[in-house]
Amino acid sequence: MKYAQTVPVLMYHHVSPSGSFINASPQNFEDQLAWLSRHGYRSLGSDEFAGHLAGQPVPARSVLITFDDGYLDNWVYAYPLLKKYGFRALIFLVTSWMGDGSVRPHLGQEDLPPTPEHRECERLIDSGRADDVALRWSEIRAMQADGTFEFHSHTHTHTRWDKSVRAAEKNTLMARELADSRASLKEHLGEVSQHLCWPQGYFDDDYVRLAQEAGFRYLYTTQAFGQNRAGTDPAGIYRFAVRNAPGASVGRRVRIAADPVAGPLYNRWKLWKRSLRGKA
């Protein structure tokens, strides 16, 4: 049996017909899952992925599928489609956005709830209407019990404290974010893992130290141009954003990300292009 040298980590936010710059339509998301299924890919759980980083073997065609924030459309569209194709995924929850109430309909049922595009979700959350666009704990528990999704921390409020009027207090505030997120996950799900995703992709050395002191070991970034190999520092896990594209297009990106030769070359080329833009 062949084993993976590197595991690509896919980053999603929304699966919805509403569209936006960080959304996959249900049609394209299904096509992406179908492509992965046809080509023999397997989605890992967080424990398997952690084991891979520690040097434990995982199948050659392995991926880790992640979702950020915890939007309602993850229940309405992503969950039924992942289940249909036998894949599992991780959701990093902004715990203060999650509410109470009964489960709502999802794909395959009648009277689906609206799932607005990303900026409208942000507007509604800012206006105190997070329940209109974010998951409920009942939906989270249902997906967890089904084995389709795992749930991990994305902090409590998703705030960029370093850009706020309280930037001088950012470390104290981030420590509180991490503690509140852990307490919420423990209260509602009975457990909290060692996996954390940074809000809006921002972290620094202080934040990494605070996360590790809080009990988080596996820290997920929005940095796309690196490979998650055995021995990779778990404090800097690479992920690439999946676009609203057909399965074959995403499949090419997955293959490049996993290739031991083409992957590093592609990453160096992309970082070089980015450095040129920075000098312009």
Give 237-252 pLDDT, tens digit per residue. Answer: 999 999 999 999 999 9
| 3-state secondary structure string across 185-238 | HHHHHCCCCCEEECHHHCCCHHHHHHHHHHCCCEEECCCCCCCCECCCCCCCEC
Which residues, including other chains, have CB under 8 Å from residue 20's CB and lie 6 or more apart? Answer: 14, 117, 118, 119
Q: What token pair was written down for 234?
A: 């778990």
Q: What is the pLDDT of residue 233?
A: 97
Q: Give Cα 252 distance to the centre of its chain.
A: 20
pTM exceeds cut of 0.95: yes
State what percent of residues in the chain have pLDDT above 70. 99
For residues 145 and 79, the answer to whether their CB atoms sit within 8 Å is no
Q: Is residue 119 scored above 60 in pLDDT?
A: yes
Three-state SS for 67? strand
Q: How confident is the model at residue 280 (pLDDT cuts 50, 70, 90)?
A: low
Count the alpha carbons within 13 Å of 139 in the hemisphere toward its beta carbon: 27
Domains parsed from the chain with CATH numbers:
9-279 (3.20.20.370)
Return d(Cα 84, Cα 144) in angstroms, integer: 16
